[in-house]
């Protein structure tokens, strides 16, 4: 920390001051807002980071302690990095627009920089903040950071937003990708931080949250470690063949870090390009291509949310907006708690509840089960995922759920996953199931994967019988879907 001065007057008057408003970019490396702040205020300038705890988000009824706890770990490291470089990351608690204006006035900031988001709430907040700061005579600049390509920088030949992934991918992959921004080596802070409207980094308890799960390592260093392990080893080369098997460590597990921005997307892309030099076979080349396609899926969902913000509150397909969901609360609770009687579904929900993360193949299985077997509104599942997932992200979560529910942007929307055949294909030895359902130890692999464990075995192990019959329910859903599709 800089030495404490008796007052703020002189340093503020003599040095241009830039505030870097962090939200979903909790890092110093590959951060366009931070890099531009340093470039614009120059050697004489002061660069301060700020993070604002928004009570409306903290009290939204969706945010859970595990996610807040992970975020606090990221913020703790980010503040340590600012201090190591000679400045500081300041914290505020309050309505974001009022708070950023209050701090800007208190330090007599000349500039405010931030990285953009695509969520409707964030776009509205940032527009209001920009207008309010500019009225104070403060220069405001924002930057593309959440994706490699800005959502409005890619369009069909007719100039329309994309509604289908495959043509989006073809356009997206052909576009030149930006290079990462180097991490700063030095920053200058204020001579004193007294008399500012800021708080210390609050504890989880002070924010009125609790967390009872073991979290992965938070922060920028952990994100870079995961990225390097995935790209420098064989993970990315084996990605195509390994990614669908939840018992294997076949994915990067970077999604919580991408959600909180502890790793820059340009750095991720750079690592993938470097990994191409390690390719020794067509299979390995396909692994990297598949990884790139997953990054493109992430940006496709950002793209459609940006252009169709109404997706946040309802189905894309008009015929699905009045679908007659059964919405059985008891069955929904059984799904949430992993008590459906379908082992692959229950294992996945236990993984979610106990770790705050779920393998992507399993996300599709449990989402299909909720919507197509239990015939429960996808928005119930979407909300539960946002509550539990450390990587809970509106664009990706909404896009995934609408894909699974046959309500989204999909040229072949009617997909129904059979949980038993999914288990046989992607967990052929039952390793994943037994990891999360240890009470099923002793069953044969055939019994585990059958989707119909013998009743006496269920009773012996206090495991529930299937709460629905998949074959009956899929036919019921198909008929309901057909009726909705035919209605005006």
Catalytic residue set: 294, 297, 325, 360, 378, 401
Is residue 148 within 8 A of residue 266, CB to CB? The reply is yes
Instruction: Report how far Cα 154 is from the mean position of its chain's Cα atoms.
Output: 22
Angle at alpha carbon of residue 458, lines to 454 and 460, rounded to 5°? 115
The answer for residues whose C-beta is within 8 angstroms of residue 202's C-beta and 6 or more apart is 53, 72, 91, 93
**What is the phi/psi pair of residue 197, to 5°?**
-80, 55
C-alpha closest to that of 62 among 402, 351, 446, 388 = 388
According to DSSP, the residues that pair with 90 across neighbouring strands are 50
Question: What angle separates helix 265-275 from helix 220-232, to the nearest 10 degrees?
Answer: 20
Taking each helix axis from N to C terminus, what angle separates 378-388 and 329-337, rounded to the nearest 10 degrees? 30
Which residues lie below 8 Å from residue 161, measured CB to CB, with a gap of 6+?
155, 303, 304, 306, 307, 308
Residue 93 three-state SS: strand
Cα(88)–Cα(141) distance, integer angstroms = 20
Going across the sheet that includes 89-93, the strands are 89-93, 46-53, 17-22, 111-115, 139-143
Antiparallel, parallel or unpaired: β 139-143 and 111-115? parallel
CA nearest neighbour of 475 among 463, 467, 483: 483
Radius of gyration of the chain (CA): 24
Residues 6+ apart with CB under 8 A from 148: 177, 178, 265, 266, 269, 295, 299
């Amino acid at each position: 920390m800089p030495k404490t001065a008796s007052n703020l007057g002189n340093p503020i008057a003599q040095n241009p001051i830039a505030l870097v408003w962090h939200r979903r970019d909790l890092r110093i490396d590959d951060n366009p807002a931070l890099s531009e702040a340093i470039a614009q205020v120059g050697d004489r300038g002061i660069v301060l980071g700020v993070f604002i705890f928004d009570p409306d988000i903290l009290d939204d009824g969706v945010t859970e302690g595990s996610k807040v706890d992970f975020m606090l770990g990221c913020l703790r490291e980010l503040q340590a990095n600012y201090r190591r470089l000679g400045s500081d990351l300041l914290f505020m608690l309050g309505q974001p627009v009022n708070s950023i204006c209050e701090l800007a006035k208190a330090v007599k900031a000349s500039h405010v920089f931030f990285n953009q988001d695509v969520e409707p709430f964030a776009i509205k907040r940032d527009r209001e903040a920009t207008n309010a700061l500019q009225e104070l005579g403060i220069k405001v600049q924002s930057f593309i950071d959440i994706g490699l390509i800005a959502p409005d920088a890619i369009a069909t030949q007719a100039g329309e937003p994309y509604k289908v992934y495959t043509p989006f991918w073809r356009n997206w992959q052909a576009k030149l990708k930006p290079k990462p921004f180097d991490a700063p080596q030095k920053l200058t802070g204020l001579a004193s931080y007294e008399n500012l409207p800021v708080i210390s980094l609050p504890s989880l308890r002070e924010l009125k949250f609790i967390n009872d799960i073991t979290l992965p390592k938070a922060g920028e260093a952990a994100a870079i470690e995961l990225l390097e392990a995935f790209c420098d080893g064989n993970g990315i080369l084996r990605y195509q063949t390994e990614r669908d098997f939840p018992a294997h460590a076949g994915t990067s597990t970077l999604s919580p870090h991408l959600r909180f921005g502890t790793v820059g997307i340009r750095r991720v892309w750079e690592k993938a390009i470097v990994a191409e030099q390690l390719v020794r076979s067509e299979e390995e080349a396909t692994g990297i291509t598949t990884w790139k396609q997953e990054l493109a899926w992430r940006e496709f969902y950002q793209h459609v949310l940006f252009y169709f913000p109404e997706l946040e509150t309802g189905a894309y397909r008009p015929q699905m907006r009045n679908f007659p969901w059964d919405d059985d609360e008891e069955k929904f609770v059984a799904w949430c708690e992993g008590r459906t009687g379908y082992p692959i579904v229950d294992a996945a929900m236990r993984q979610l509840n106990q770790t705050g993360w779920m393998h992507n193949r399993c996300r599709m299985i449990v989402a299909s089960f909720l919507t197509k077997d239990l015939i429960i509104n996808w928005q119930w599942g979407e909300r539960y995922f946002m509550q539990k997932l450390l990587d809970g992200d509106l664009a990706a979560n909404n896009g995934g759920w609408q894909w699974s529910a046959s309500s989204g942007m999909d040229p072949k929307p009617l997909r129904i996953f059979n949980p038993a055949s999914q288990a046989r294909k992607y967990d052929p030895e039952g390793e994943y199931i037994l990891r999360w359902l240890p009470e099923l130890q002793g069953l044969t692999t055939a019994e585990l994967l059958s989707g119909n464990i013998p009743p006496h075995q269920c009773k012996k192990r206090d495991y529930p019988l299937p709460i629905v019959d998949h074959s009956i329910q899929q036919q019921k859903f198909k008929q309901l879907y057909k009726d909705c599709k035919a209605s005006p």
